[in-house]
Amino acid sequence: MNIAPRAVYIATAQVRDDEMADRVAKHQARRGAEWTNVAEPIDLIGALKRTDGQGPRLVDCLTLWLTNLMLGDHDWRGLGRELVAGLAGQSDPVVFVTNEVGGGIVPENALARAFRDAAGELNQWVAAEADEVYLAVAGLPLKVKPND
């Protein structure tokens, strides 16, 4: 088996100001040269296809990707289903960072409610396909799936 010595970090954030550019630069420096950095705010499916075979991938983050899709009037449901369907064909592991946004109060405005519902759907689809799911609380990982 060929194991890549590197890992791939796929960032879905969009750099729109100096503060975010500085934040991204600090994150990249902290990861070091062992990581290949890929910035892809919209075409996450393409980024996963292009990087398959380069080592394990860390996608940071699924909810930012969803935000980009929703604010850009993309078909997030279609793309989310396509993303999940394509995971089974990946030869290298994929780890998703996401946010659990459904645990608070019901948002006041329609866009925030739609986002909360969409994030819940997308997270469920990815979790259903995943071999393992963890929830981080106060920096501590809690294993959600599989139930051992």
Q: Token pair for residue 53?
A: 């075979």
pLDDT surpasses 80 at 9:
yes
Annotated binding residues, written as ranges, equal 11-13, 60
Q: Which of 14, 27, 35, 101 is catalytic?
A: 27
Pairing of strands 133-137, 140-145: antiparallel
Q: How far apart are CA 42 and CA 45, in angstroms?
A: 8
- Helices 76-87 and 110-129 sit at what angle, rounded to 10 degrees? 10
Annotated binding residues for GTP, written as ranges, equal 11-13, 60
pTM exceeds 0.85 for this model: yes
Per-residue confidence (pLDDT) for residue 2, from 0 to 100 = 47
Give 90-127 pLDDT, tens digit per residue. 999 999 999 999 988 999 999 999 999 999 999 999 99
Q: Active-site residue 74, yes or no?
A: no
pLDDT surpasses 80 at 4:
no
The full set of domains in the chain, from first to last, is: 7-145 (3.40.50.300)
